[in-house]
Structure 1
């Protein structure tokens, strides 16, 4: 059989790419079925493709001009993922253990070893200030051929994370997506490797992509702490996994539903960077369990799969779903979090679907 025409293959690949890129979508309030106990609504199926079972080298590309404080927050989160990291329970590594429950057809689990192996700083906007989804692959290519300080092109263990700064516009950002993952095309990058993109939403659309630290305009905004409709309880800051009543002496805070809830303060003091952390976690979990879009997902349409983090968008603690964050901790000044990380960091990260419990789950769960 003769070789297929290369330009036709590229055309069909790009056409398919435009319709299937897997995305983290903004939280839609009042219409969510993502209750943490909704096991009867989910049919998560393994489609025989690979998962990321070998130790991973994570390469981060900082595209644009970044605030070092924001970079430090994200970098500490990434360094907290590996099972070899040291943080108190419930930790980011504990959260990743749910992701590790997914296996390939040989029975191999997703790896627990994720090493931040390289960083590249694209200060010059090599692909411009306005990027299409496909241009994200060109950003990766540019980072691997840059001089000096190029990232290695790592087809066996590499995972690439492109992070765009506040001034960079990305196709569909804020309108339809907050991040996405896919795999690179050899015609663009040279090899096939999993990658993800996440944008900084702190100035462009915090209400869409940094929930629950900001509310979308269509919700109508938060109200005061004293609103009588307050119903959601944030748990104790000491890691105690027992639920506490509103009258408990441990000083829990009562928070309300989306039409009467005060804004939750971000755990590291920046709405955009703290919001990005959860979107990054979302994309990493889905890249690990569905790197080539043929492994773990729900739904009959492979061009629009529902993946393990999609099932739990907006759920951060027990009782979460339908616009409710769930029961999470607060620190001494009222900043919400559910996970501990390296360097004393705390993060608020959405849960993912557990194939063992058949529901959304995180290490801060009360059951």
Structure 2
């Protein structure tokens, strides 16, 4: 073999040795990530709720918190679908509010890029409402962020909605970018192809699949000189959503109550402690199985909120200890896997709240 061939092979081997091995995440890896995202969303939603309760006359801040809370709830639904939890149907929302929320959510990113976000609503849709709000927003957010990323500074992105026949609403996102190259158009929505620098090519493919699963359709209708994507969504007769409940300061519904919280995530505990004490309760904390024994010796409790992970393999034993020392206490299980707890006798009278949760769910479980 020639020296030049040997040198080339050596260089190739060195290159292969130097390149890190890319490991695809396993189902267990993804499940773990989703669990952590669930916890993070729980904390975000809880502190947003508390912050809004402290605002009296700061409409700009409250408006920002409203958008943040709405998007966190949509993210929570995405996670719940991924981990197999039941996800209740969205209340129907007006097409106008969907346009406004989609644009509002992407406004900070657009401002950072110097891009103007514009919206346009077909007058025929001014009173129209659609189901599937969180899914529509998820897809539109993907399209808008892509459009902002490829549009130049001082450019604009248009989000519009129009009625197409009696049954369909068409949402459109038009950018001022360079368009989609010819070689990418055929499989843009079916494979891992990206329209922007640094993109992974996952968002558009996933958005298209999500649209199909929901009875809609995502398509590229113009590729250049700028790109336009359209989301076709079925219009079904629906009633306007009920007005949201007030998020102002909570009533002292737990005055005089003593609650035990078993939780090894300090951020989640801080949220629960703030929510429960603001409603009048006294809170005892246990991070581990050993701390649980100490907490139970400190006095009786009216209820125990228990994440399952601190108990390790002795979940039933730990819950049995709580029930034995506090026969009348309400037990609320807060975990991502409350359905995977075989052998729990009915005598425990336990209620399950699956992560990610909102404080309203915890309050409901404690007052039901």
TM-score in terms of structure 1 length: 0.23
Structure 1 or 2: larger helix share?
2
Between 1 and 2, higher relative CO (CA 8 Å, sep ≥ 6) is seen in 1
TM-score, structure 2 normalization: 0.23
Higher radius of gyration, 1 or 2? 2
